[in-house]
Amino acid sequence: MYSGQLVFAQLMEHLPLHTFRRCVQRYPSKYPTKTFSHLDQFLCMAFAQLTCRESLRDIETCLRAHQTKLYHLGIRSNNIAKSTLADANEQRDFRIYMDFAMSLIQIARKLYASDSFAVELEQTAYALDTTTIDLCLSVFPWAHFRSAKAAVKMHTLLDLRGNIPTFIHISDGKMHEVNVLDILIPEAGSFYITDRGFTDFSRWFALHQAQAFFVIRGKSNLLFRRIYSRTVEKSTGLRCDQTIALTAPKAKKDYPQYLRRIKFYDAKHDKNLVFLTNNFDLPALTIAELYRCRWQVELFFKWIKQHLRIKRFYGTTENAVKTQIWIAISVYVLVAIVKKRLNIEASLYTILQIFSLTLFEKTTLDQLLKNTEIQEPMQKNNNQLNLFN
């Protein structure tokens, strides 16, 4: 019988602690850390994510019930109090956990770099989208969104190989999603796939000048002039493949070069879809398939909201909310890293379900996760559960 580390401790062994310490040193704080370190805070919040704790009181009660095991979990503080965790979340700079999450993302991207996805493509393909996390205005007045509503927005750039978020920006609810294009640093040769909400010809032209490609859903009121038409095989769903020039005065000024316009008929939903791109080399059907892959970022948002603790927040300040979101993302990426390193076939949903019940057991991760026959509920109807299948 295995008598080594607890499952939680084995999972946390995959954290690059030297990187974590560097992140802590980068943002010094006057808040005391002798009895409750930054690592203790991270481990407590990660524990809350993995076991689906709903509140700080819930975290405190659960950890105190296992007080003799805290040291074996890696938590050096012997007395986890609700007030201590609340103060740490409010006063310790959220950028510590943001930087650490981004370092985990870099590790995960290297692990998933050779993975394929639905489209045969040598270049990197990213899906860019924004999701809104609703908040109560009376409790979160700093996140004012509308007259009677508060919210924060999570702008995410998802690498379609492995569905790993490579860029995340958390803003208040008032920031329009298209403005995130000003923050992104374009990667030459890569594809950026977005929805109609990101329509801005001047920003598209900036991507084009950076030698990056974009694929975006075209609006129905687009004014253009057809320059050239290519033949298409209509049995594939393609309706046209055109080279166009924009004719609206402002659009023509913002994007003075030709665009490629592809029209595709989605028989399943009886819908005509129009895509615009600055790539003239890939087959038209590949462009349509690339846009279909954009749905992965929507599934990522649904998955995050359903299975990580960001619907209910443990604190009400901006710093506490952002700390919780970044630690939630860190947990998501950490489990993805473990899945890849251990070559686990089970989906991420299944892995987290197992972890939620077994963190205090002394079983090797290999034995715990491999060859599992656990069936995911509602798998046929919820595609977001298949992110890592």
Question: In this predicted model, what pLDDT tens digit does every residue of 346-389 receive, in sequence order?
Answer: 877 788 888 888 888 888 888 888 766 444 444 444 443 333 33
pLDDT of residue 89: 92
Residue 32 has pLDDT above 70, yes or no: no
% residues pLDDT > 90 (the chain): 39
Rounded average pLDDT over 98-103: 94
For 108-135, what is the mean pLDDT? 83
* pLDDT for the residue 380: 40
More confident site: 76 or 275? 275
Contacts of 77 (CB under 8 A, 6+ apart): 35, 36, 37, 40, 70, 84
Determine the residue type at 92.
Answer: R
Which has the minimum average pLDDT: 23-37, 148-162, 292-306, 313-327? Answer: 292-306
According to the model, what pLDDT value does residue 307 have? 56
- Round to whole Å and give the CA distance between 89 and 31: 11
What does pTM read for this prediction?
A: 0.81
What is the structure's pLDDT at 134?
A: 83
Which position has the higher pLDDT, 67 or 90?
A: 90
Judge contact between 131 and 157, C-beta under 8 A.
Answer: no
Alpha-carbon distance of 155 to 132, in angstroms, equals: 9
* Burial class of residue 305 (count of CB atoms within 10 Å of its CB; 0-12, 13-18, 19+): middle
What does the block give as tokens for 360?
Answer: 């205090």
- pLDDT value, residue 105: 92
Q: What's at 140, amino acid-wise?
A: F
Query: Which pairs count as long-range contacts for 304-308, CB under 8 Å and 24+ apart, including other chains?
Result: 304/328, 304/329, 304/332, 305/131, 305/133, 306/384, 307/349, 307/352, 308/49, 308/332
Average pLDDT over residues 202-229: 93
Whether pLDDT at 1 is above 80? no
Residue 184 confidence (pLDDT) above 80: yes
Four-residue CA torsion sign, 204, 209, 214, 219: positive
For residues 119 and 290, the answer to whether their CB atoms sit within 8 Å is yes
Segment 309-314 shows an average pLDDT of 69
> pLDDT class for 281, splitting at 50, 70, 90?
very high
Statement: residue 334 has pLDDT above 70: yes
Average pLDDT of span 82-96 = 92
How large is the average pLDDT for residues 225-234? 91
Please give the mean pLDDT across all residues of the chain.
85
How many contiguous H segments (helices) and E segments (strands) does the chain have? 14, 10
| pLDDT value of position 102 | 93
User: Does residue 299 carry a pLDDT above 60?
Assistant: yes
pLDDT of residue 232 exceeding 60 = yes
**305/299 Cα distance (integer angstroms):** 10
Predicted pLDDT at 3: 58
Q: What is the reported pLDDT for 15?
A: 94
Query: Of the given ranges (37-46, 91-100, 182-191, 344-353), which has the lowest mean pLDDT?
Result: 344-353
**Structure-derived torsion over alpha carbons of residues 45, 50, 51, 53, reported in degrees to the nearest 10:** 40
89 phi and psi, to 5 degrees?
Answer: -65, -35
> For the chain, which domains are there?
7-97+319-386 (no CATH), 196-280 (2.20.25)
More confident residue, 29 or 387: 29
Average pLDDT of the segment spanning 268-281: 91
Q: What is the pLDDT of residue 372?
A: 62
Distance from C-alpha of 273 to C-alpha of 217, rounded to nearest angstrom: 7
Residue 212, pLDDT score: 95
Name which of 250, 253, 276 is nearest 263 in CA terms. 276
Instruction: Report the C-alpha gap between 222 and 219 in whole angstroms.
Output: 6
The Cα–Cα gap between 309 and 328 comes to 7
Tell me the residue type at 265. Y
Find the mean pLDDT for residues 258-274: 90
Q: In the beta sheet, which residues pair with residue 214?
A: 192
End-to-end CA distance of the chain: 31
